[in-house]
Amino acid sequence: MARREGGHRRRTVGWLIVLTVFFGYFVWALRSEEVFRVVERKLEQTPSGLVVSGAVLNTTATATGVNVDVTFFDHHGRQLTQETVTIDHLAAGATVPFSTKPIMLTTMKDYTIHVNTGPNMYGN
């Protein structure tokens, strides 16, 4: 009977090790897929309206152009508006600042920033 309990414990520890390795690889793989990172972000209230500014880092080995999509939401989670800032040349390894135009929003509760590189190989 004691032998069965020891085997069960070893199997449990073995599965925990396998799951930990898989989860570690999964996190590492997803991290390496993020080739453009928003490294700075700031929301400012100016007399002209709300302005979102920040910087985008290109971690790839090639220069490219990207669109930075900034979407504003109200307190119910509904989209209020979206603005796209175009960065025509983002050099390899470079960090480039961006800033939206001032937008007059009184009910804005949250915002998101998405770096859009255009359609993928599937057309999405």
Task: Report the run of H or E that residue 7 belongs to, with start and end.
Answer: helix 2-33
The pLDDT score that the predictor gives to residue 36 is: 87
CA distance 59 to 92: 7
Q: Looking at domain 36-116, does it have CATH number 2.60.40.3230?
A: yes
The yes-or-no verdict on residue 2 having pLDDT over 60 is: no
Q: Are 59 and 36 in contact (CB under 8 A)?
A: yes
> Which tens digits make up the pLDDT trace of 7-42?
788 888 999 999 999 988 888 777 666 688 899 999
> Which tens digits make up the pLDDT trace of 37-82?
899 999 999 999 999 999 999 988 888 889 999 999 999 999 999 9
